[in-house]
Amino acid sequence: MANFSKVDNINMKIQYEIHHSTADSFTNSRMALKKLLNNKGLEVLDLKLDLALNNYRELPHYPQFYISLSHTKEIGAAVLVEKTYVCGIGIDIEWEQRTIKPGAEKFFIHLEDRHNLRPIELWTAKEAAFKALSPLGTYPGTLVLSKIIIQNNNFFTHEEPHLKGEFVVYHQTIGDKRYVFTIASIPLELK
């Protein structure tokens, strides 16, 4: 049985949805996105056809929006925003009890990071920021999490310093388990 966890908007422009069920991760993230589109009065008949992604952030059937998806075991998340408000959007979700293996920090921590986040929160912030940044810039080599700098609730890279965004970390509970998710966005005027 599916369980929608409706949460409030971080502002009136960006909307997000969490979907929890024993279905596979693809289904959970697409069900969250379907709910967001249904809330806009848009009908989704087929999760694979209607919600096929272009460039990881656009829906050919709904070109007025940017989207981002995330999932982990038994939970999926989606964020939806009209293109007139942001140039980049990202979401990441993880169960709070997930541990970051010792030594993994080298893959996502930058020496200039300044924050009060726990490792799992920092991970979701970097993942969400990556999703918001990656389609917008040209990064020497590849954009990796360790190139993203987190300072307070803002993020940027040295490769594309004009692309500055902000993020919000959330915590929710389903039954006796807690999850953390982060939404990152880059204002439209920075494109």
Q: Identify which of 6, 10, 30, 36 has the alpha carbon closest to the alpha carbon of residue 18.
A: 6
C-alpha of 138 from chain center:
20
Farthest-apart Cα atoms in the chain, separation: 47
Q: What is the pTM of this model?
A: 0.91
DSSP H or E segment with residue 82 = strand 75-82
Would you put residue 161 in left (φ > 0), alpha (ψ -120 to 50) or beta?
alpha
- How far is the C-alpha of 121 from the C-alpha of 22, rounded, in Å? 24
Domain residues of the chain, as ranges?
A: 3-190
pLDDT in the model for residue 132: 95
pLDDT in tens, 2-43: 333 344 444 558 999 999 999 999 999 999 999 999 999 999
Q: Cα(12)–Cα(121) distance, rounded to whole angstroms?
A: 24
What local confidence, expressed as pLDDT, does residue 5 receive? 38
List, for residues 166-183, the tens digit of each pLDDT value: 999 999 999 899 999 999
Residue with tokens 């990441």: 92
Whether 148 has a pLDDT exceeding 60, the answer reads yes
